[in-house]
Structure 1
Amino acid sequence: MKTKVEYGFPKGFLWGGATAANQIEGACLEDGKGMSTSDYAAYKDPYATGEVNNFTFNVTSKELEEYRANEEKYKFPKRWGIDFYHRYAEDIALFAEMGFKVFRFSISWVRIFPTGLETEPNEAGFAFYDKVIAELKKYHIEPLITLSHYEMPIVLSEKYNGWQSRELIDCFVRFAAACFKRYKNDVKYWITFNEMNMNLNSLYTGAGSFPDKVDHLEQAAYQASHYQFVASSLAVKAGKEIMPDAKIGCMINRIESYAKTCRPEDQLQALKADQINLFYPEVQARGEYPSYMSRYFKEKNIMLETEPEDFQIIRDYTVDFIAFSYYMTHVTEDRPDANELAGKLDSPIKNPYLKLTEWGWPIDPIGLRITLNKMYDRYKKPLFLVENGLGARDKVEADGSIHDDYRIDYIREHVKQMKEAVTDGVDLMGYTTWGCIDLISCGTSEMTKRYGFIYVDQDDEGNGTLNRSRKDSFYWYKKVIETNGEEL
């Protein structure tokens, strides 16, 4: 139960940072690790291809065949990451220096079950996470673990086309239960799936499914989501049996939608866009499919394969909290392609009142306060902002310093609005900025777009010393945590 405060963040607020295994670990073939979907995300120079705003990576079955046949022709940056696998102690010490209360990371499924089909976990894979968690505990940093963060065994993609098959439910629950049993005494906070609504944007990224092997992309996205809903609920069931006091949450990429005008048709479209975005926590937090999706599925000719017991499982095992990422808001209007745009990461309609990042993302701190209030009013469950940050080019000065005032300004304004929302009465558990240390981009597999408080000396081609250095934002965020968000 959160401490009551008149203004500002509650005592015990969880300040920290967030990462993902496939973007930081490297050590692709060490200690029995299998190959994941992310290991086949090839680097394609976004500045040469004009795909600077490509938010996600997709791989077709034909591309996978090409990558396997001619691996020497391609670079796969997620295979080398930033070498967190060998530098975790150094990195965690830097997080501790900033004063982190929590560190969000993911456990790589293929380190524990290399193909996803094994019945017994890979001990060497667990041994690595044992060390990471022990290091966090040394500094009194709470682990926040995501079980599935944009990677899964490539074997399951090839055998079942990923989450198009309900066979994956048992595979995932076996993986989740193994993690819960291993860390039942060490980890309190868990997230089942990262940004599950990413299935609507990139089927390969979110569901491990090859887009060229399905007939109806949206049908495939919602079918994968249904199986993930069941798997997530069964993971909650297993987690509560193994760790009665644990807190297990779901996660979405939250995009607040504004209507372009006060024209009723535009307002209605904004409502529809919001419903698609919030469909995911509706199912996982309330335990049922919202009624508005029945009409949506009918109009889109989407027919899900389900079993009668699926809905009872979803109803019985809901999440304890709702985690979300927040980077931007969207503008919507009633137009011929409006339904296709609903649920997507990018909108072609730009908000004239907002500035854009170099990558074209609108910057809207007040939108964060709006969405925090809206989501808490809707679900009455604790919220956890587990991704938020600014991707930018950082310049290293001659003396080694990195002056990233733009990042400080971005995070400061969002923290201000978080504080306002908490004062509004929102139960916000914590805040973990995305990419607290520079890492490989999810969408383009580049290093140029940096989010971290900690600079990593590595370029898009994987060249560099990998040395870590503190940016100006490092010292600023340290003060924010020290003062519980009072000194901004």
Structure 2
Amino acid sequence: MKTYKFPEGFLWGGATAANQIEGGFNEGNKGVNVADVLPGGKARYDILTKPGFDFEIKPDQYYPNHEAIDFYHQYKEDIPLFAEMGFKAFRMSIAWTRIFPNGDELEPNEEGLAFYDNVLDELHKHGIEPVVTISHYEMPLHLVKEYGGWRNRKVVTFFKRYATTILNRYKDRVKYWMTFNEINSALVMPINGLGFSIEKEEDRYQPTFQAYHHQLVASAMAVKACHEIIPESQIGCMILFAPVYPFDSNPENVLHALKEEQIFNYFFGDVQVRGEYPSFMNRCFKENNIQLEIEEDDLELLKEGTVDYVGFSYYMSRTEKKEKADEDSSEGNIIGGVRNPFLEVSDWGWEIDPVGLRISLNKLYDRYQIPLFVVETVWGPMTNSKKTAASTMTIELTICASILKQWAKRLKMEST
């Protein structure tokens, strides 16, 4: 049996987000953010993907992130447990609304800054390297309601103020940074990443890509600021990467899969790594009558603010064909595609593809030739009456082992 050894200095750890773990959603002078108004349960996905969400907290709904695991109060108990698990790195995010409660203030909230001082100190005390996401699905709700989210150019200024504030505050504590979590996911779920709900499906493209232009400029500003404030740091982008397979060798399906992969998987990395819009997106804008408002210095900023590494999440692959029928759909794969007959499926229709991680690593490195950082990857089945807890755990561990094996193979580690 082969065993694989991770290289010296490999950042092994876990990943979280402020809105997933902190709780204390209305404590410490924190403002309300987008995540705070998203209820739990089956309705959540429809809210994220369909028009008409009102961004209000309702008394008859359950909001899991309001309490979460109470990391806000329990971090001194939680972090030693991470160390006990062998964490060498801990991916976390800073809640924008703990630092600027409304998002447009001129001065930050000291209570929020002090909270993250304490968290970062506790991580270092236990030998854990923090990896910080600047914005992870938690835009200030005030910026959504008063400014229209990232559609409004003013938000670029607000984000720059927030980013430079935390870069300066934590420059001696944080070496690894990321700008926006899964930046491409707003193509499917704009509420999370861009801070607005699509009103009419036919009007999706223009506001979405204008908002994305603002966000890409803001990302470049943050990267440039990070390089100036913390020269020895590394700051990356972060994308939701799902390798796209053609359903078969029909050239029409191969071409369709290629185009889907260009826009979803590569557009955002191309801009943030190469510093310019790729030609396939300029063509997409022209074909769909998308006219971006680009200010004089924007394109130069994109060139100056390129990232040091590509961070990505891997949860699934995606299989595509040009002509789809309802029966072809892959129910659990939330970013679309058709059923892949060669993959097993979880209880909720999620296709299981550990080899897809290795494919993703090869594709991304071949394209960008800069360091890669797998910052999210997980799979878990739903337990039902036909499965014991032990058999469910066996499935989970088998899948995790398969994923790690593909990661190890890509790194060409020592094997014995």
Q: What is the CA-CA distance between 1:214 and the residue it aligns to?
A: 8.8
Between the aligned partners of 1:160 and 1:376, the Cα distance in structure 2 is 38
Structure 1 residues 315 and 103 mapped into 2: Cα distance closer, same or farther (>3 Å)?
Answer: same
Structure 1 residues 267 and 82 mapped into 2: Cα distance closer, same or farther (>3 Å)?
Answer: same
Residue aligned with 1:376, SS: helix
Match of 1:30 in 2: 27
For the pair 1:96 / 2:87, whether they are aligned, the reply is no
Q: Kindly provide the amino acid, as one letter, of the partner of residue 299 in structure 2.
A: F
Match of 2:183 in 1: 196
Contact 2:99/2:113 (<8 A) preserved: yes
Match of 1:438 in 2: none
Q: Kindly provide the amino acid, as one letter, of the partner of residue 272 in structure 1.
A: K
Contact 2:345/2:351 (<8 A) preserved: yes
Q: Kindly provide the amino acid, as one letter, of the partner of residue 13 in structure 1.
A: F
Between the aligned partners of 1:149 and 1:248, the Cα distance in structure 2 is 15
Match of 2:123 in 1: 136
Q: Kindly provide the amino acid, as one letter, of the partner of residue 77 in structure 1.
A: P
For the pair 1:361 / 2:350, whether they are aligned, the reply is yes
Between the aligned partners of 2:164 and 2:20, the Cα distance in structure 1 is 24
Which residues in structure 2 correspond to 1:184-333 (within 5 Å)?
184-212=171-199, 216-276=203-263, 277-333=265-321
Structure 1 residues 55 and 407 mapped into 2: Cα distance closer, same or farther (>3 Å)?
Answer: farther
Match of 1:162 in 2: 149
RCO comparison, higher one (Cα < 8 Å, 6+): 1
Between the aligned partners of 1:210 and 1:259, the Cα distance in structure 2 is 31
Residue aligned with 1:303, SS: coil
Q: Kindly provide the amino acid, as one letter, of the partner of residue 57 in structure 1.
A: L
Contact 2:15/2:91 (<8 A) preserved: yes
Residue aligned with 2:107, SS: coil
Structure 1 residues 62 and 405 mapped into 2: Cα distance closer, same or farther (>3 Å)?
Answer: closer
Q: Kindly provide the amino acid, as one letter, of the partner of residue 293 in structure 2.
A: E
Residue aligned with 1:252, SS: strand
Q: Kindly provide the amino acid, as one letter, of the partner of residue 7 in structure 2.
A: P
Between the aligned partners of 1:93 and 1:273, the Cα distance in structure 2 is 43
Between the aligned partners of 1:260 and 1:214, the Cα distance in structure 2 is 27
Q: Kindly provide the amino acid, as one letter, of the partner of residue 303 in structure 1.
A: Q
Residue aligned with 2:111, SS: helix
Q: Kindly provide the amino acid, as one letter, of the partner of residue 351 in structure 2.
A: P
Between the aligned partners of 2:299 and 2:408, the Cα distance in structure 1 is 37
Between the aligned partners of 2:195 and 2:60, the Cα distance in structure 1 is 23
**Which residue of the other structure, out of 365, 372, 378, is the alignment partner of 1:383?**
372
Between the aligned partners of 1:317 and 1:215, the Cα distance in structure 2 is 33
For structure 2, which runs of at least 5 residues remain unmatched after alignment?
none
Between the aligned partners of 1:214 and 1:273, the Cα distance in structure 2 is 19
Match of 1:427 in 2: none
Between the aligned partners of 2:201 and 2:106, the Cα distance in structure 1 is 29
Q: What is the CA-CA distance between 1:76 and the residue it aligns to?
A: 1.6
Q: What is the CA-CA distance between 1:402 and the residue it aligns to?
A: 10
Q: Kindly provide the amino acid, as one letter, of the partner of residue 344 in structure 2.
A: K
Q: Kindly provide the amino acid, as one letter, of the partner of residue 15 in structure 2.
A: A
Between the aligned partners of 2:392 and 2:380, the Cα distance in structure 1 is 14
The percentage of counterpart residues that share the same residue type is 46
Between the aligned partners of 2:105 and 2:312, the Cα distance in structure 1 is 31
Q: What is the CA-CA distance between 1:26 and the residue it aligns to?
A: 0.5
Residue aligned with 2:104, SS: coil
Between the aligned partners of 2:68 and 2:166, the Cα distance in structure 1 is 23
Q: Kindly provide the amino acid, as one letter, of the partner of residue 282 in structure 2.
A: S
Between the aligned partners of 2:415 and 2:212, the Cα distance in structure 1 is 40
For the pair 1:105 / 2:92, whether they are aligned, the reply is yes
Q: What is the CA-CA distance between 1:371 and the residue it aligns to?
A: 1.4
TM-score between both structures, scaled by the size of structure 1: 0.78
Q: What is the CA-CA distance between 1:9 and the residue it aligns to?
A: 3.1
Between the aligned partners of 1:246 and 1:92, the Cα distance in structure 2 is 23
Q: Kindly provide the amino acid, as one letter, of the partner of residue 35 in structure 1.
A: V
Deviations 1:224-243 (A, max 9, x none): 11111100000111111110
Match of 1:180 in 2: 167
Deviations 1:196-215 (A, max 9, x none): 00110111111011322897
Match of 1:407 in 2: 396
Q: What is the CA-CA distance between 1:59 and the residue it aligns to?
A: 8.3
Match of 2:48 in 1: 57
Q: What is the CA-CA distance between 1:28 and the residue it aligns to?
A: 1.1
Deviations 1:303-330 (A, max 9, x none): 1111131110001110000000001111
Q: Kindly provide the amino acid, as one letter, of the partner of residue 204 in structure 2.
A: L
Between the aligned partners of 2:390 and 2:380, the Cα distance in structure 1 is 18
Between the aligned partners of 2:199 and 2:312, the Cα distance in structure 1 is 29
**Which residue of the other structure, out of 339, 359, 367, is the alignment partner of 1:350?**
339
Contact 2:96/2:135 (<8 A) preserved: yes
Q: What is the CA-CA distance between 1:245 and the residue it aligns to?
A: 0.5
Match of 2:14 in 1: 17
Contact 1:214/1:220 (<8 A) preserved: no
Between the aligned partners of 2:202 and 2:109, the Cα distance in structure 1 is 36
Deviations 1:118-142 (A, max 9, x none): 1111010011111111111011100
Cα RMSD over matched residues? 2.5
Q: What is the CA-CA distance between 1:263 and the residue it aligns to?
A: 1.1
Deviations 1:22-55 (A, max 9, x none): 1111101111000001110023x42xx6x8xx38
Structure 1 residues 129 and 402 mapped into 2: Cα distance closer, same or farther (>3 Å)?
Answer: farther
Contact 2:99/2:110 (<8 A) preserved: yes
